[in-house]
Amino acid sequence: MTNYLSKLKKDGYCIIENAVSKKKCVEIGAELDKISISKKHKKFRFRDKKKQLQLVNVNYINPSMFMDLVTNKKILKILNDVFKERYVLSNFNASRPISNFKKYRLHIDSRMPIFNYNNTTHVVANLCVDDFTIKNGSTVILENSHKGSRKGRIKKIIAKKGSIVLMLGHLKHDIGKNIDGTRRWSIIAYYCRWWVKPTYDFVNSCTKKIYGQLSNKQKEVLGFNATPPIDWDKRKYTLRNAKTIPSNFSRLKKYLN
Ligand SMILES: [Fe+2]
């Protein structure tokens, strides 16, 4: 644990090996293949200039398969230590590089560059559903960019299937070039401090059916008890205790006021 944290602080990323079983990765990979060609889920598919295929919000397409990853204990333990305050899920998607493109578009996932680790606003957890190899488009990072350096090398993150790669949101990175054409799925969960606006509104997009499948911890990480009050006379605080989240969907609308 301490090792992961010191590596995250020093290098801007760390790799937790064997975080998810190989068997589970095989099941996830097969499900992602299925979603990626399904007509029903067409609206969740996004192709980034033929560079990568993204399946957006897969946690809500198949909650019983993906929601456990959102609240993976190994991830949450590290998030607790980095943020030292409440955080929520900002974005959750699956991604696969689909070409050997020419130029990297190095970028950060947090909304602003921060060079002080203690002020980290975003942490990204990347589950390697397949092996991340030198030729199949493993994520690349710009070394030391989380400390403001522009002189570091571009480095490929090589990791085994079932590993979780944690990255600070302000570490420059990009999806890798898929040279050998082999499949390389990853699931990417983005977390941010509770007061940062998340990429997706997982509270208002949650259906009754999905709500019924969520644990209280999952509801908390999705931000159900971190929404701003609608008005002063209805409620005074944004953050509430997780115990106050209603178990029944029919009481949710009133709770969110
Ligand atoms: Fe990114």
Ligand 1 centroid–CA 217 distance in Å is: 26
Q: Are strands 173-174 and 140-142 parallel, antiparallel or unpaired?
A: antiparallel
Interval between CA 95 and ligand 1 midpoint (Å)? 10
CA 168 – ligand 1 centroid, Å: 11
What's the CA-to-centroid distance between 195 and ligand 1, angstroms? 21
In angstroms, what is the span from residue 143 Cα to ligand 1's centroid? 15
**pLDDT of 47:** 75
**pLDDT < 50 regions, the chain:** none
Q: What is the pTM of this model?
A: 0.96
Half-sphere exposure of 120 (CA within 13 A, CB side): 32
Contacts 24+ apart (CB under 8 A), 212-215: 212/249, 213/63, 213/64, 213/67, 214/63, 214/67, 215/67, 215/71
What the chain holds in terms of domains, given with CATH numbers, is 2-193 (2.60.120.620), 208-256 (no CATH)
- Tell me how far CA of residue 234 lies from CA of 89, 147, 228, 237, 255, in angstroms: 25, 43, 11, 10, 10
Cα 204 to middle of ligand 1, angstroms:
24
- What spatial distance separates the first Cα and last Cα of the chain, rounded to whole Å? 39
What spacing in Å lies between the alpha carbon of 249 and ligand 1's midpoint?
33
pLDDT at 114: 92
Question: What is the distance in A from the centroid of ligand 1 to the CA of 208?
Answer: 31
Distance from residue 170's CA to the centre of ligand 1 (Å):
10
Q: What is the pLDDT of residues 77-110, one digit of tens each?
A: 999 999 999 999 999 999 999 988 889 999 999 9
